[in-house]
Amino acid sequence: MKPLNRQNLMDLVDGAAIFSAGGGGNPEVGYEIVDKLVEGRYAVRLVDPFDVPDDAATVNFACVGATTAVAYDGDAAVKTFQTLEEFLGKKAYATIPVELGGFNTLVAVDVAARLGLPVVDADGAGRSVPEVHLKVYTIDGIPLAPMVVADPNAQNVVIVKETADSRSAERIARTLAAEWGHSAYTARRILTGKEVKTSPILHSLSRSIRVGALLRKEVDSVGAVLREIKGVKLFEGTVDKVERETKAGFTYTEVTLKGTSEDKGSRFELRAKNEILVAYKDRKLVAMAPDIITSVDLQTGKCRTAEKIEKEDRLVVLGIPAPPKWRTSKGLELWKDVLQRSGIRVAYVPIEQLVK
């Protein structure tokens, strides 16, 4: 197992945010989690998926809800996790983040460290996603329940024994989150050590740490990150208009940018449901989910999450190819359903083809 120090964890926050598609929660809260772990002298250990015993139980942990409503209480998160362990009648070997994001990845790290467990070097999506069932585990038929859902203070804790399907679990978790101020903790998706080696996106946390280190060390941080992740620069510009609404457990954001530098004279549009789902340049489609669209600060290269984008912000928009599992027929079918319910009905085209 690899120990992670404070700098590793801060790099993890920044790197995971690059893969967040503008979602995954506020990285500033991720930084606060790191500081509290350091202050509490908690040991953070990263375990390789291939080193997890085949019969071990690993549990996915995350917050669910609108990105504008992110709050975090480590004790409440631990209580949520332990409630699932009590229901199962056994202890977990490790936690695993459900997604990559500057906040949501760190909550799984935090719960693991507080309980003396390692966190697996993998996650359930290789990016941030807007709905609970939208994970690569669903492609593999791994059930989402049993699941524990708790309010931000863990005063209301609900055990969901089973659901008809993963989409039903999303509706239950989302409804509860909306009732509790658009935010909730969830412990769910119990994977065996054998499944950990094949189902999630492997080694995504160590990759995120490398990306975060590039942001910190490189003068041309955006260029260095694009080379590392094999991404593309979609647009550079200044935010001209932002419309935002929080409802039903989601934060909906629409952003318009005016081009600068080589994009001067062009306009760019982003649409987000927690995460950025689609992007247009001069009304022409240039990227869409499951490919990753992330806006970053022009100067620092750090992610500017969708709910934090404001008028006059100077941004660069990055495009990153989705993990291969999302581009399978089952993966694209899951995304098609989510996109259509978000009012996006264009057919998926890989980002490599759109930016030729």
Over residues 288-321, the pLDDT tens digits come to 999 999 999 999 999 999 999 999 999 999 999 9
226 in Cβ contact with 216 (< 8 Å): no
183 and 313 co-located in one domain: no
Q: Is residue 212 part of a domain?
A: no
**Distance between the two ends of the chain, CA-based, in angstroms?**
42
**Structural domain includes residue 216:** no
Neighbours of 354 (CB within 10 A): 18
Q: Beta strands of 140-283 (E only): which ranges? A: 147-150, 157-160, 183-192, 201-202, 232-247, 250-259, 267-273, 275-281
Same domain, 14 and 134: yes
Residue 247 — very low, low, confident or very high, per pLDDT cuts 50/70/90? confident
User: Would you say how long the chain is, in residues?
Assistant: 356
The enclosing H or E element of 107 equals helix 104-114
Q: What is the pLDDT of residues 153-201, one digit of tens each?
A: 999 999 999 999 988 998 999 999 989 988 899 999 999 999 999 999 9
CATH number for the domain harbouring residue 247: 2.40.390.10
Rounded to a whole number, what is the largest CA-CA distance in the chain?
Answer: 62
DSSP annotation of 347: P
Tokens of 62: 């995350």
Residue 137 falls inside a structural domain? yes
User: Do residue 175 and residue 267 come from a single domain?
Assistant: no
Number of domain units in the chain: 2
Same domain, 14 and 90: yes
Which residues touch 322 (CB under 8 Å, ≥6 apart)? 126, 127, 289, 290, 291, 292, 331
Q: What residues contact residue 324 under an 8 Å CB cut-off, 6+ apart?
A: none
Report pTM. Answer: 0.96
What is the domain range of residue 323? 222-354
